[in-house]
Amino acid sequence: MTLVSVRDLTIAFGGALALRALSFDLRRGELLGVVGESGSGKTLAALSLMGMAPEAARVSGAISFDGERVDTLPETGWQSLQGRRIAMIFQEPMSALNPLQRIGTQITEAMIWHEGISRAEADARALALLGEVGMPEPQARLRMYPHQLSGGQRQRALIAMALACNPDLVLADEPTTALDATRTAQALDLLRGLARARGMALILISHDLAAIERVAERMLVLYGGDLMEEGPVAEILSRPAHPYTAGLIRARPRPRPPGVPRRPLPTIPGSVPGLADLPRGCRFHGRCPKGRPVCAEGRPPLVDIAPGRRAACLFPEPV
């Protein structure tokens, strides 16, 4: 059953389009990855799903959540969804936590606000949640302030906050940027396990294909505000259809056997152009090794290339 349906979501800053007619669906309980280099529109897409697009943005298109249009909701309508049915784990754990409030207070705030439960009941639920997210000595941590926690523990506290009201959807935007490799893997496995155990849908946003592979079943590849490719993670990683996806995969760091010298990674040539400098046709034209003049003429349509797979390229790889 469809939980989220996004149609032609377009976000403009002045005359520059940061997202161009993004459409996708998310099933209840589905684990979706969104990948793309910095500036591809991932965070803007996530913020729009929370009714939190920046003031300066001109937003159009339709977003439905659990069968109801939400993009047209007034502020108060969004407030009843935020934290209760849709929760977000933000990019910067330190800025997402209030430095002046105890961890326990921050976790119980949403429960008391949305559900009107007593402080004692909320405290008991917060304690159980901290246990569920693997916080060591949860009882003591509830009374601590963010600066008294390690980076990994702060991340667990944020995950507990997101889960406080048992949402249907969690949006995790680069949730492990502040963590080392081991803690990243632990946090990703924790998110995946919790989403599965609770039947909760998860949108994991990351520039890192390894994170997407670890967590998600299906993925969207964004570049320059366009959806370039969509499909099951395992299929896309083994046979990408879009040259941009293929470039991301080639640029992945790979584990080396001991004694094998490091070789320079092939990178995608050039860098992501600024919003105002994006090509009008295919956004990847100019960096694409397969690009031809016709690619600059218009936006390549997103077409079905195999069951469950779509790509927006005039010359896709066979899959």
Ligand X SMILES: Nc1ncnc2c1ncn2[C@@H]1O[C@H](COP(=O)(O)OP(=O)(O)O)[C@@H](O)[C@H]1O
Binding site for ligand SF4 (CB under 6 A): 243, 282, 284-285, 288, 290-291, 295, 300, 313-315
Cα 7 to the center of its chain, rounded Å: 18
Q: Of ligand X, Mg ion, ligand SF4, none, which one does residue 56 interact with (CB within 5 to 8 Å by kind)?
A: ligand X
3-state SS class at 147: helix
Q: Is the dihedral of CA 157, 88, 165, 184 positive or negative?
A: negative
- What DSSP string runs through 81-111? HBTTTEEEE-S-HHHHS-TTS-HHHHHHHHH
Which residue lies nearest ligand X, judged by its C-beta? 43
Cβ density class 44-60: b for 16+ within 10 Å, e for less:
bbbbbbbbebeeeeebe
* Closer by beta carbon to ligand SF4, 24 or else 284: 284
> In this chain, which of 7, 10, 13, 235 binds ligand X, going by CB under 6 A?
13
3-class DSSP state for residue 178?
Answer: coil
Report the distance separating Cα 53 and Cα 44, nearest Å.
Answer: 6
Question: Using the rule CB under 6 A, which residue among 22, 24, 31, 41 binds ligand X?
Answer: 41
The least distance separating ligand SF4 from the CB of residue 147, rounded to whole angstroms, comes to 46
Residue type (1 letter), 302 = L
- Residue 43 interacts with ligand X (CB under 6 A): yes or no: yes
Q: Is the dihedral of CA 80, 81, 82, 87 positive or negative?
A: positive
Closer of 39 and 316 to ligand X (Cβ): 39
- The token duo for 261 is 């010298």
> Is residue 206 close enough to count as binding Mg ion by CB under 5 A?
no
Query: Least distance in Å: CB of 289 to ligand X?
Result: 22
Site for Mg ion in 21-80 (CB under 5 A): 42-43
Please state the closest distance from residue 184 (CB atom) to ligand X, in A.
18
Q: Which one of residues 26, 32, 44, 248 is an interface residue with ligand X (CB under 6 A)?
A: 44
Asked if 112 and 122 touch (Cβ cutoff 8 Å), the reply is yes
SS3 250: helix
Site membership for ligand X, residue 113 (CB under 6 A): no
Query: Measured from the CB atom, is 207 or 299 closer to ligand SF4?
Result: 299
38 part of the interface to ligand X, by CB under 6 A? yes
Task: Name the site residues for ligand X (rule: CB under 6 A).
Answer: 13, 18, 36, 38-44, 54, 56, 275
Task: Name the site residues for Mg ion (rule: CB under 5 A).
Answer: 42-43
